Each structure stands twice: as structure tokens, then as C-alpha cells.
Amino acid sequence: MQKIVSLGEVMMRLTPPGKQKLRQAISLDILYSGSEANVTGALSLWGMQGIHVSRFPDNELGHAAIGWLRQRRMDTSYIQMGGERLGLYFVEQGAMSRPTIITYDRLPSAFSSVNKGMFKWDEILEGAEWFHWSGITPALSAGAADVLMEALTVCAAKGITVSGDINFRSGLWRYGKTPVEIMSPMLALTQVVVASENDTRTIFGIAAGKDKGNGFISICSQMQSRFPAIRYMITSPREQISATHNRLSGWLWNGTDFMETRNYNMEQIVERIGSGDTFMAGFIYAALQGWNDQQKIDFATASAVLKHSFEGDIMLGSVEQVLQVMEGDTGGRIVR
């Protein structure tokens, strides 16, 4: 089993049933989710040893979150128990012209209070083939940023491939540092980057022209000039017809070439949250299989598309199903 490691917060997600708003609800559906754990969850489902590193409060919520990740086949051996509380977020599902609304209730979470030295990265990363992080972690607290830098330094020493999803959230970054100062040394140690133009422009002032291929290539070149470790930049542009009707495709730049996938029409989306994480997971899986770059972005994008058909934030479609979507399966068959 190939070993992959991720670091990041896991929150309880609370969602009114169906299309209810919170003010209509007398119960909330719950699950446990975090951008990085969602990546590792997909990879664990697909047969890898996915280790997620985090910190949960030592209370009923923390233990429930552990069980949730274990049920999804993740290895939780290195999650530490301690700290104040589990972060939460409330989701009101959008419909038609009504957008989905997320209300975060995140700080002061157990994860945001991690500190340098808390995790034995040498042991955790021993034998790993991949490490994944997102820009949410350094946005939470100085301690979280420190812990991430520790991990990245060990990865560099061990030659472990690193992917990072910039994932800029303006509501975070409250501890007095700017994204550019904190994330620059991190990107200097990262080979695969997921970023939207909004991310690169807001944080690094790196913008693009209008035509999609060239614009994206321009951003990628500028990013690579600044962070020479980068080998791949990928993104999945989304067209938004309504809250539950989107179109999605995938773009990849490998330092020389731009590649894109076909455009998927996605009607009656079941759950969009977590699809970006599944895109990342798809890329990692394909890369670890040694597939070529077109296959990487095709598999990543088909993974993201298929993810929209499952409830919850973590991918539940098998590798075989992703390949079928990639090959044009419309889902209209009944599999008996």
C-alpha cells in the first residue's frame, strides 16, 4: 500500500435536512470533514494507506470524528486528542437561484492550537510517497503554520512529493500575518499546486489575461518563476448555471504544456462540497500510478465530477467508476 499523509483541521458539519434553512430545522444532519482529510479519504477508499494528521478535542465530538475518519478507511493513529473544541460549520443547501450559505464557527479549535514539536514528523512521514496540505492550515494560527512548515521541511529532506491547495479564505488569516509572508516558504517546498486565479491574484498579485488557456499558462509561469519547485499547476474551472446545475472541466500545466479535459455538464448536483478535494485526490492517485499528464488531469476531473453525485464531503466512487465517467458513462445504466 502506498502511504500518503495529510495535515489539517477536521470540523463537524451541520446541515438542515433537504433544502431547509436553519430557522426551519428541528434537526441537523451531521458529518465530519476537512479539506485535507477529504483528499486522504478518497485516496484511502482507493486502496492507499491514508494517514491524516490533526488534533481533536478529547471529548465526545473528538471521538466521534475519529470514528468517522476510521470508517472511511483513514489511519488516525497520529491524531492527537486535546484542546478546546472541535470547529463547526453550518451549511444551508442552495437551490435554484439561492446560493448555498456556509456559516463557520471555527475558532478557537483544537487544531488551531497546535504547536511546533507536537507531531513526530520523522516517524509519521517515514516511507510516505506524498504529503498534502492546504492554505487553510496556515491561515488558522501561527502554531498551525509552524507545524505545517515542520512537515514540509521533513518532506524536503526525505524527498516526498508535496501538493498544496492554496484555497484562500478571506475570513481567516486573523492572527496578524499575511498569506504572502507565510505561504511563500511553503510553496517553495511544494511540487503540485492547485490554485484559482482569485488565489494567485489576491495573495501574490499574479493575474492573467482573458483567454483561458493563455491566461492560465501565464499565471502558472509566473508562479513557477517565483516558486521554482513547482512541477504542476492544476485547476478545475466551474460554470455556474444554478445552485445545482454546474459545468466543470480540468486544466493542467506541467511547466511546458497546457492540457484540458472535456467539459462535463452536471445537472442535479447532490453535494458540491469536497469536489475540489477529490480533484486533488484524483491527481495524486493518477500520479502515483505513473499515468501520463493527460490521464492525470482526466482522472482528477472525472473524480471531481463523480464526487458531485454523493452525499457528504468525502468521495465514495471507486477508481473503476471514475474511469467509467472518464470514458463517457452517463450513469443511465442500472448495474445489477
| Residue list 13-42, contact with its own copies (CB under 8 A) | 14, 17-31
The C-alpha cell that represents 276 in the structure block? 475540489
Residues 87-116 that bind its own copies (CB under 8 A): 88, 90, 92, 94-105, 108
CA-to-CA distance for 129 and 161, rounded, in angstroms? 6
Q: How far is the CB of 51 from its own copies (least distance, A)?
A: 14
User: CA 188 to CA 204: how far, in whole Å?
Assistant: 13
Sheet holding 238-242, edge to edge: 238-242, 245-248, 264-266
Report phi then psi at 135, rounded to 5. Answer: -70, -5
Scan residues 178-237 and list those touching its own copies (CB under 8 A).
none
Q: How far is CA 68 from the centre of its chain?
A: 17
Figure out which of the listed residues 37, 43, 61, 300 binds its own copies, where binding follows CB under 8 A. Answer: 61
Q: Give dist(CA 281, CA 42) in Å, integer.
A: 6
Among 55-63, 114-122, 151-159, 227-235, the segment contacting its own copies (CB under 8 A): 55-63
Candidate residues 234, 273, 284, 286; the one interacting with its own copies per rule CB under 8 A: 273
Closest CB to its own copies among residues 253, 299 = 299
Residues in region 131-170 near its own copies by CB under 8 A: 169
Contact between 308 and its own copies (CB under 8 A)? Answer: yes
Rounded to an integer, what distance in angstroms lies between the CA atom of residue 307 and that of residue 61? 26
Q: Which is nearer to its own copies, 290 or 334 (CB)?
A: 334
d(CA 194, CA 235): 6
| Contact call for residue 243 and its own copies (CB under 8 A) | yes
Kindly identify the residues of this chain, within the stretch 287-306, that bind its own copies according to CB under 8 A: 305-306
The 8-class DSSP code of residue 314 comes to S
